[in-house]
Amino acid sequence: MERIKIAERLFYIKASENPLSADVGIFEGDKFMWIFDIGADESVPISLNKIQKPKNAVISHFHPDHMGNLGHAELENIYLGGNTFKYAKCGTVIEDDVLFDDGEKIHIFPLPSSHAKGSIGMEIGDYAFLGDATYSTMKQGRACYNASVLKEEIAVLKNLSAKFFLISHDEKFVRPKEEIIAELEEIYNKRDPKESFIWI
């Protein structure tokens, strides 16, 4: 599969619709290849397994298009949120910020999300992989955000030093941090203080 370059040592494999598969982030560390989300397209692990380098995976959340290939990839370590662990039944649960040094600082962090409980993100230099964390959820057949969770998410995102956010399934994929935060704040400002959810 084609790897698209984002920056030095940073790449991604584009999401697909059929089969539904998330964008797969790749960082070529000194010791490990770091994979953010493993996707669900079977050609992804086939392609990655050909690379003779130990691999670590960071799984953003439990939806099959992000973690469907877990059993097919050759991985040394898997990092995921507690809710994702219930589905994956393997790996190391990330409950607090964790830092690794592999040629660059790798920051794995819990990320509040209306879209999927227990999401995590991965920040490397100027870039932060967020998976689907900035998306809404569905409730009573309507798209919405949990107001308190969205407030927490905005605070976490503002604290990141990354200048660009990488959003899965987005046509642009790499987007300025300020742009994403402005969009989320606009949604949050539409809340009704008497409602737990912001309907969109």
The pTM score is: 0.97
Mean pLDDT of 66-92: 97
For the cut 90, the answer to whether the pLDDT of residue 45 exceeds it is yes
- Tell which residue, 59, 60, 56, has the closest CA to residue 31: 56
- Tell which residue, 107, 37, 36, 93, has the closest CA to residue 69: 37
Domains along the chain?
4-136+162-177 (3.60.15.10)
Residue 199 has a pLDDT of 96
For the cut 80, the answer to whether the pLDDT of residue 70 exceeds it is yes
Q: Which alpha helices (H) appear in the chain, and where do they start and end?
A: 43-49, 64-67, 82-88, 147-159, 177-188
SS3 content of the chain, % helix, strand, coil (to 5): 25, 35, 45
Spatial contact of 79 and 59, defined as CB atoms under 8 Å apart: yes
Mean pLDDT of 170-187: 97
Query: CA–CA separation, 126 vs 158, rounded Å?
Result: 13
Mean pLDDT of 188-197: 96
Query: CA–CA separation, 41 vs 194, rounded Å?
Result: 43
Query: CA–CA separation, 64 vs 62, rounded Å?
Result: 6
Residue 1 has a pLDDT of 76
pLDDT in tens, 81-95: 999 999 999 999 999
pLDDT category of residue 76 using cuts at 50, 70 and 90: very high
